[in-house]
Amino acid sequence: MTLWNRYQNDILSGITVAVVALPLALAFGIASGAGALAGLYATIFAGFVTSLFGGSEVQVSGPTGTMTVVLVAIIAKYGIEGMLLAGALAGLMQIVLGMLRLGRFVKFLPQSVISGFTNGVAIIIFMSQIETALQTPSVTLVTAAAILFAMFFAKKIPASLFGLAVGIAANQLFFHSPHLVGEIPATLPKLVLPLGQLQNIRGLVMPAITICFLGTIESLLSAEVADTMTGQTHNANRELIGQGLGNLTSALVGGIPISGVMARTAVNVNSGGRTRLAGMVHSVVLLIVVFLFGRWAAHIPLASLAAILMVTAVRTVDWPGLKLVPQAGWSYGIPLFTTMVLTVFFDLTIAVAGGLAVAILFLMIELARLPHITQHPQGLPEHPKVAVVSLEGPVFFLSTEKLMKQVQSLAQGREILVLDCTNVPATDDTAILLLKKMAKRYQEEDRIVYVAGVKGDSLQKLADLKVTEALGDHYVCPHLDLALNRAYQDAS
């Protein structure tokens, strides 16, 4: 098998992804305030590094709309150099997270919060482009119409690129807008060391954490989707290190921060890409395009890029997540809308923290609910001295005190209590310690407590917290039948 036959699909897929990525790289670079070249350099050089060193074979990285929203605020306050330093710090943070093997933990965010900040970012991107779109509304409308036509009637054509081409042609022939991207120099970037912003490093730590957080979440979610599509399994820790190296590289060449991009990764997979070569080819092809056609950027209307971003924003909205709200209820909807509103009116760090706090509050309310309690389940022989109480559902600290009072009330006047925990999937330390306290009280009253059906981690906690010792091994039974036999013998 020749090398071409072996890697043909990856090479062709890389070319396809480059065609899709080109207009978005230009658009996100300009939207961030850093310029078209910053978006291209990030896509080319950081994209190459992340494909080479990342933990997913098919992940394609580059600038994203989510990141653009953060960068606008950083550049407004600290300038482009400040943005480069924040990107470099974020890259270092990602490398440390990967080396500490924390890749699998940073993905544990509620889906409602992820959906909320995704929708909030989409709103911000759309709103931020209105002014540019209105500079030459005719070009904006023509470009958007061309994108929608390609999306619905010519799906094999990259929609953004088709819209860009139609927008350029329409502007050249009919509208002649003076608001253009400008020529892109066909040169390699010079290394940039943003040392002039070191005095602002304290102020840039929080923006860097935001960049790190968003880049990490986006990259790992995209890698998860790619795994589902290909059957491969990515290495989350290596992916974080690769993304960190990519962000360091981007900062050094004057590019904006990047992350794994779900849309480009999906295009790569659907086009046949199965190795990291595809992502590397995508970067090389874009570099060639810059060298050969960079001067043509002088003909690109900013209104066309605004239209591309506005359509991208609408497509970014998590429509399936919004449709879930009526079915999933308030515990899903309120964290989602809280995160979305905070994203639009404050910033992403506050939004995610606020949404997470609301989601945790609903979780605590859910955990505070008493498990289902059944007194003497049907089918069991009855005895006047034995109370059998079955619990069903998790038992945590928020419900334990009320639960134990109810159990004691049901066992009132009986010498022996059999507490059936067969259908209790999980407990916490507080619940176990309260059980120990209740057992001691029963012993002081010359009464007996049997605990049945405890398993897994909860059984280990009984031993670790010396509840088994307090009750006695005889009174901790692996299943209900054994506990009942012993209880009825004691009662005879």
90: left (phi over 0), alpha (psi -120 to 50) or beta: alpha
Q: Which residue is listed with tokens 């059980």? A: 435
Clarify whether residues 289 and 177 are in a common domain.
yes
Identify the CA nearest to 304 among candidates 87, 133, 68: 133
CB 242 within 8 A of CB 54: yes
Query: Do 390 and 420 contact (CB within 8 A), yes or no?
Result: yes
How far is 48 from 448, CA to CA, in rounded Å? 69
Instruction: Examine residue 367 and state whether it is found in any structural domain, yes or no.
Output: no
Residues β-bridged to residue 76: none
Q: Mark whether 174 and 254 lie in a shared domain.
A: yes
pLDDT level of residue 144 (50, 70, 90 thresholds): very high
Same domain membership, residue 234 and residue 303: yes
Q: What value, to the nearest 5°, has the Cα angle with vertex 240 and ends 238 and 241?
A: 65
Q: Are residues 238 and 382 in the same domain?
A: no
Q: Say whether both 377 and 310 belong to one domain.
A: no
For the whole model, what pTM was predicted?
0.75
- Copy the structure tokens of residue 150: 């390609």
Q: Residue 309: which pLDDT band, with cuts at 50, 70 and 90?
A: confident
Q: Who contacts 51 (Cβ-Cβ below 8 Å, separation ≥6)?
A: 59, 60, 61, 242, 276, 277, 278, 279, 280, 282, 283
Residue 160: strand, helix, or coil: helix
pLDDT greater than 70 at residue 107: no
434-487 tens-digit pLDDT: 888 888 888 888 889 999 998 888 888 888 888 888 888 888 999 998 999 999
The domain of 453 spans 372-491
DSSP assignment letter at 353:
H
Is 305 in the same domain as 422?
Answer: no
Q: 438: domain CATH number?
A: 3.30.750.24
Q: Going by DSSP bridges, is the β-strand pair 259-260/386-392 parallel, antiparallel, or unpaired? A: unpaired
pLDDT of 1 strictly over 60: no
In the chain, the number of structural domains is: 2
Q: What pLDDT does residue 252 have?
A: 95
Residue at 341: amino acid letter: V
pLDDT tens digits, 391-425? 888 888 777 778 888 888 888 888 999 999 988 88
